[in-house]
Structure 1
Amino acid sequence: MSDRQKGLVETKNEVVPHAINRRCARHIYANFRSQFAGAALKRYFRQASRSYSAAGFNFALYKIKELKPAAYEWLLKIPAEMWSRHAFDPRIKNDHVTNNISESFNHWVGELRSKPILTKVDGLRAKLMSRLQKRKQKGITWSGLVVPNVVKELNNVKEESRKCHLLVAEDHEFEVQDDNINYIVNLREKKHVIAGFGIYLAFHVGMQHWEYLIEERI
C-alpha cells in the first residue's frame, strides 16, 4: 500500500512487478477533498472504502453521484481493488484501507531512519527489547487467551449479529439474512458470498460475525 509519492509506483513495478498494489484511502481522500469538500461526501467516501460488499460500495458511490456527479467520475478513475475492501484480493489477509501502520512505524523509528545501517539495526534491537518487555508486563495483567481490544470487537460483532436470521443448509453451510442482504456462509471454507451476486469475501472479522451467529443459533 502506498500514498503514491513520486517514484514509488515506478519502483514497485520494477522491483516487484507481480505484487498486489493498494492505495491509501486517507491519501486518496485528501486529494478528493481538495476538489470535492463536504461532510456527506466524506461519509460516503469512507463507506465506499470500508465496505465488505459490492452492494455497500455501489450504494455509497450512488449517493456520491447524487450529491456531486463530478466526484463520482473522479473516483471511478481509481480501480476499486486499490482502495475498497470489497474488491481486495482475498489472498491478502489484510483489510486495512490506509497505510497508518507503516507511518506509525516510521514515527516510532524516529531519528534511527537517518542512521547508518548497523547503528539503525542495533537501535531497532534495543527499541524492540524495551517494547516487548512492556507488552509482556501489560499482558500478564490480562485474563483469557484473547487480547482485550479483540474481545471488545468480537463482542460488538456478536451483538450486531442478533438482528440476523439464520437458515441451515447443511452441517457447514448456512444462509444468513442480514437486513435486505442474504449471505451464503461456508464455515469449512471460511468464506461467505452475497446470495445472487457471487461476490467473494474472506476477511477475518466478517467470518467472526457469522461464526458467532451460527454458534449461538445451532
Structure 2
Amino acid sequence: MRAMELLRTLDGEAYTWLTAPERPPRHWSRSHFNITLKCPILLNNLCESFNFWIMSARYKPIISMMEEIRVKLMRRIQMRRDLMMRWERAICPRPLAKLETSKKQVGDCIAIMYGGPKFQVDTATGGQFIVDLDERTC
C-alpha cells in the first residue's frame, strides 16, 4: 500500500490537508525536493562538520529529524554551559588567548591622542596609523 493511501486510511483530515492544491508536495515531501546545488561553494568545514554531526538524523522523517537535532543541540548547549560555569574569569578561554596574543603584538605601539575619538598609533618599525574609535577604522 502506498504511503498516501495508508495516510488516507489512518487520518483522512491529514490526507486532505496535504493534498490541498495550495500545498504542493514539493513543499513537504522529500521525494519532490529539488536537490540540485544552488551555490557551487556549498561545502566547507563548518557544513561538513555539521552534516557529519547530524548524520544519524538526516535520513529520518522530517519531524523525527528535527527532534533529534533539537535534542543534540540542547545537550551541546548544556555541556558548554556546564564547562563555562567552572570558568572563573570574566572572559572565555579562546577570546582570552586572542587578547593575550594581541597584547604581545601591540607592546611596541604608542598611542597618541589625535583629537576626539581619534588616535595616532606609532609602531616600533616606524609605521603610523590613525585609528578612529567611532568609525572603527584604521
Superposition TM-score, scaled by structure 1 size: 0.41
Whichever residue aligns with residue 191 of structure 1, its letter is: T
Q: 1:111 to 1:182 in 2, by over 3 A?
A: farther
Q: 1:122 to 1:148 in 2, by over 3 A?
A: same
What is the Cα deviation at residue 180 of structure 1?
A: 5.3
After superposition, what is the alpha-carbon deviation per residue over 1:189-208, rounded to whole angstroms, capped at 9, x for unaligned?
2222xxxxxxxxxxxxxxxx
- For the residues of structure 1 that align with 2:72 and 2:88, how far apart are their CA atoms? 27
The alignment status of 1:163 with 2:108, answered yes or no, reads yes
- For the residues of structure 2 that align with 1:119 and 1:182, how far apart are their CA atoms? 58
Superposition TM-score, scaled by structure 2 size: 0.61
Whichever residue aligns with residue 60 of structure 2, its letter is: K
Q: Which residue matches 1:176? A: 121
Larger radius of gyration: 2
The alignment status of 1:189 with 2:111, answered yes or no, reads no
Identify unmatched segments of 5+ residues in structure 2. 1-35
Whichever residue aligns with residue 132 of structure 2, its letter is: N
The alignment status of 1:151 with 2:96, answered yes or no, reads yes
Q: 1:181 to 1:107 in 2, by over 3 A?
A: farther
Q: Which residue matches 1:138? A: 83
Which of the pair has the greater relative contact order for Cα pairs under 8 Å at 6+ separation? 1
- For the residues of structure 2 that align with 1:181 and 1:118, how far apart are their CA atoms? 58
Residue aligned with 2:98, SS? helix
After superposition, what is the alpha-carbon deviation per residue over 1:143-180, rounded to whole angstroms, capped at 9, x for unaligned?
23321111111111011101223232113111223435
Q: 1:157 to 1:116 in 2, by over 3 A?
A: same
Over aligned residues, Cα RMSD in angstroms? 2.6
Q: Which residue matches 2:72? A: 127
Whichever residue aligns with residue 189 of structure 1, its letter is: E
Q: Which residue matches 2:61? A: 116
- For the residues of structure 1 that align with 2:67 and 2:60, how far apart are their CA atoms? 10
Whichever residue aligns with residue 91 of structure 2, its letter is: V
What is the Cα deviation at residue 100 of structure 1?
A: 2.4
- For the residues of structure 2 that align with 1:163 and 1:100, how far apart are their CA atoms? 36
Residue aligned with 2:72, SS? helix
Residue aligned with 2:57, SS? helix
Q: Which residue matches 1:200? A: none
Q: Which residue matches 1:197? A: none
Whichever residue aligns with residue 134 of structure 2, its letter is: R
Aligned residues: 102
Q: 1:167 to 1:113 in 2, by over 3 A?
A: same
Residue aligned with 1:183, SS? strand
The structure richer in helix per residue is: 1
Q: 1:180 to 1:106 in 2, by over 3 A?
A: farther
- For the residues of structure 1 that align with 2:54 and 2:106, how far apart are their CA atoms? 40
Identify unmatched segments of 5+ residues in structure 1. 1-6, 14-22, 28-98, 193-218
